[in-house]
């Protein structure tokens, strides 16, 4: 199903997060420096984009979707995954994640995003009126507008130039 334009900003952010997951899965994560670089990038993604993304979903998408019985359990599951992902981001911020935890983070985030795209967004588009989606889109845009417009330094760049 073609993505409703009011959900496209969240889908774009999903693409950014999925790219992070792919890059983590391809990384060796063999040295302490690599682990720290990836955790730093994870923290930056959270601070600059994902925390605003979660806030928009939790304040506007999830309550709207919960109104439909066929989506309520899914919303509860996604909200619980947000809490789990926040724990990973907290660990990354503290630099305490090991190789296994960084890999687990990438798998959890990737699975979560695919569930939102394939089940939540699709379900909302089927159940909700265009006007209701338009209203949600406007509210989501307000939350996402608070996100900083800074560039995230990729872990690979940090490893090549540790002073960045």
CATH of the domain at 45: 1.20.120
| pLDDT tens digit sequence for 108-155 | 999 999 999 999 999 999 999 999 999 999 999 999 999 887 667 677
Is residue 2 a part of any domain in this protein? no
Look over the chain and give the mean of its residue pLDDT values, rounded to a whole number.
Answer: 94
Is residue 152 a part of any domain in this protein? no
Is residue 162 a part of any domain in this protein? no
Is residue 54 a part of any domain in this protein? yes
Is residue 84 a part of any domain in this protein? yes
Is residue 3 a part of any domain in this protein? no
* Cα–Cα dist 138/142, whole Å: 6
The whole domain housing 32 covers: 8-146
Angle at 15 between CA 11 and CA 21, to 5 degrees: 135
| Total count of domains within the chain | 1
């Amino acid at each position: 199903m073609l993505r409703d334009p009011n959900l496209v900003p969240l889908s774009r952010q999903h693409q950014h997060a999925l790219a992070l997951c792919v890059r983590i899965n391809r990384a060796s994560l063999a040295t302490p420096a690599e682990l720290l670089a990836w955790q730093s990038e994870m923290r930056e993604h959270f601070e600059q984009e994902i925390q605003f993304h979660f806030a928009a979903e939790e304040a506007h998408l999830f309550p709207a979707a919960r109104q439909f019985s066929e989506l309520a359990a899914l919303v509860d599951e996604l909200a619980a995954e947000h809490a789990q992902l926040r724990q990973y981001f907290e660990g990354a911020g503290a630099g305490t994640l090991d190789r296994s935890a960084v890999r687990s983070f990438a798998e959890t985030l990737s699975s979560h995003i695919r569930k939102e795209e394939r089940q939540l967004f699709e379900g909302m588009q089927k159940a909700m009126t265009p006007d209701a989606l338009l209203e949600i889109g406007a509210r989501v845009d307000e939350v996402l507008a608070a996100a900083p417009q800074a560039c995230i330094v990729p872990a690979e760049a940090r490893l090549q130039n540790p002073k960045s």
